[in-house]
Structure 1
Amino acid sequence: MIETIDFHIPELDAMKRYPKEIFYIGATELLTRPKISIVGSRKPNQYARQVTYEIASKLSQAGVCIVSGGAIGVDAICHKAAGANNTIMVAGTGLDKRYPAINKNIIEDMEKEGLVLSQFQAGVASYKYNFPLRNELVVALGDILIVTYADINSGTMRSVQDALRMKKEIYVLPHRVGESDGTNKLLNKGLAKAIYDVDEFVAKFGDIKQGNIIKDNFLEYCKTNPTYDEAIAKFAAKVFEYELNGKITIKNAKIQII
């Protein structure tokens, strides 16, 4: 059931204008947790996909709630990695829409176990001008902003402008020349910090005591980009389980993390 937030969310005072209404489905208790916003391209490269998943998963396991925008690409990876019960999605439509349709199952899980927010009433479609407002709310909710992949003239970089205006720390992944030019430019200008060691980074923001974070041996193996036949030989049951759960995909006869 769609309900309306009836209390003040102090993090949103950083927005240009505090939202007139905020609608929600799910557990508003997540708003009281330490929160980190993660955003990025709808088409990140494989390296960004893998490291985004690792960062979101480990932050979640360390007690940090992950905030993102529910889009395909980096957003969906974050929500999946964090787990439905420890993620906040900010929608760019009315909450009756479950947009984009390809993420319908993920969104339904977040409605049941996590939290979905929107500034738009039921019935409002995915108008282009909704998304800058959605992005600003995503950035405002997080204690910091992580951008894992972004081209220079992308909507993600407009989120970066929101973060700079709000004086939030920005973290990015180091990329090769010609890839993720937007985040590379931020590093070059000294406007962002690079994440070189995921565990070291997570330890700054969550409880990462010895043994608190459990490594997923199969996903660690998938980072080596094995062939389908190799993976089946070593982890037959896991391959089928993780493919069904949408954690991996098979492309060109190789395993890739989603």
Structure 2
Amino acid sequence: MKKLQEKIPEFSAMTTYPDTLWYEGDRDLLKRRKVSIVGTRRPLSYTKNTIFQLASALAKRKVLVVSGGAMGVDAMAHRGAGAEHTVAVMACGLEHRYPAVNASLLDEIAQKGLLLSQFAPGFKARPWSFVVRNELVVALGEVLVVGEAELDSGTMRSVAHALRMGKPIYVLPHRLGESGGTASLLKEKKAEAIYDIEAFAERFGIIEEPVDDPFREFCKTTPTYEEAAHRFGERLFEAELEGRITVREGRVFLL
């Protein structure tokens, strides 16, 4: 781990700029556009799946996903983005892989992405250090996405940071009786719901196709859906979900 020497403009929005920042991994990732994602440590299956898809859609556009390395929503955000497109902001010294259940995930982020902390080596997480960590997570992102949260949860402290910093807040739509914190934000018009993952992700960038993309070249021949599925499998399904192809009368067409 190393000290981060250069100033990070986004941290100027914090109450106090960190005295020292420590990092492990690729610090150049901080030059990318960034979206912060937070939420409960015990999310619903719907929340986990949707956050994974959202983080993946952002990462495909080279957007850096920022979260806190915790269980639940944080972990799904990191996994959805992939280690090389994420930064985990830690509430402890970077030699500690906390929580232990995410140790392998944090190791991969350290190798391919970025771990960041304002706590010196040897420091073990304390209840108050998570609050401090949350302010860094919120400050880094252009916007804050709250996957799921109850009214009296720690996640709502992240929301308070975002409101103070003037950051736009987005939430997942939930059923009645679920995620009281995000429901309250919508009711009070302090947040906007994400109803279309691809439309949300497109606000931050476009998917850059390889110059010589075999999938695109194949689709230019308007193959049958069965032929394309047999040859490209999941890639075909992803392209259809992302609106980059359409299927008419059993044939695939590029959009």
Q: TM-score, normalised by structure 1?
A: 0.81
Partner of residue 88, structure 1:
87
The equivalent of 2:166 in structure 1 is 167
**Structure-2 separation of matches of 1:186 and 1:86:** 28
Correspondence for 1:198: 197
- CA distance in 1 between counterparts of 2:236 and 2:46 reads 17
Deviation digits for residues 179-211 of structure 1 (CA, Å, limit 9, x no counterpart): 000000000000000000111111111214789
CA distance in 1, matches of 2:106, 2:15: 27
How far, CA to CA, are the matches of 2:44 and 2:63 in structure 1?
25
Partner Cα distance (2:44, 2:203) in 1: 26
Rg (Cα) greater in structure: 2
- Structure 2 distance, partners of 1:134, 1:207, is 30
Give the Cα separation in 2 of the matches to 1:36 and 1:63.
11
Paired positions, count? 218
Identity %: 47
Q: Aligned partners of 1:82, 1:219: CA distance in 2, in Å?
A: 18
Checking the alignment, whether the CA contact within 8 Å between 1:202 and 1:208 is kept in structure 2 is: no
1:146 aligned counterpart, secondary structure: strand
Taking the aligned partners of 1:85 and 1:209, their CA distance within structure 2 comes to 16
Give the 4+ runs in structure 1 shifted more than 6 A.
209-212, 217-220
SS of residue matched to 1:129: helix
Task: Name the SS of the counterpart of 1:66 in structure 2.
Answer: strand
2:228 is aligned to: none
Closer, same or farther: CA 200–164 of 1 in aligned 2, 3 Å: same
**Matched residues in 1 for 2:189 and 2:91: separation?**
31
* Distance (Å, rounded) in 1 between the aligned partners of 2:233 and 2:66: 22
TM-score (norm 2): 0.82
Q: What's the counterpart of residue 245 of structure 1?
A: none
Q: Secondary structure at the match of 2:203?
A: helix
Deviations 1:73-122 (A, max 9, x none): 00001111101111000000001111000000000001111000001011
Letter in 2 for 1:4: K
Code of the residue aligned with 2:136 in structure 1: it is: L
Distance in 2 between residues matched to 1:164 and 1:141, nearest whole Å = 14
Q: Name the aligned partner's letter for residue 170 of structure 1.
A: I
Q: Map 1:37-186; keep pairs closer than 5 Å.
A: 37-186=36-185
Runs of 5+ consecutive residues of structure 2 not aligned to the other structure: 210-214, 217-231, 239-255
CA RMSD, Structure 1 to Structure 2 (Å): 2.0
Partner of 1:189: 188
State how far apart, in whole Å, the 1-side matches of 2:179 and 2:236 are: 28
* 1:151–1:5 CA distance, 2 compared to 1 (3 A): same
CA distance in 1, matches of 2:20, 2:146: 27
Residue identity matched to 2:169: I
Cα distance in 2 for partners of 1:216, 1:181 equals 35
CA contact (8 A) 1:72 1:103 kept: yes
Give the Cα–Cα distance (whole angstroms) in 1 for the partners of residues 237 and 149 of structure 2: 24
What is the CA-CA distance between 1:219 and the residue it aligns to?
Answer: 9.5
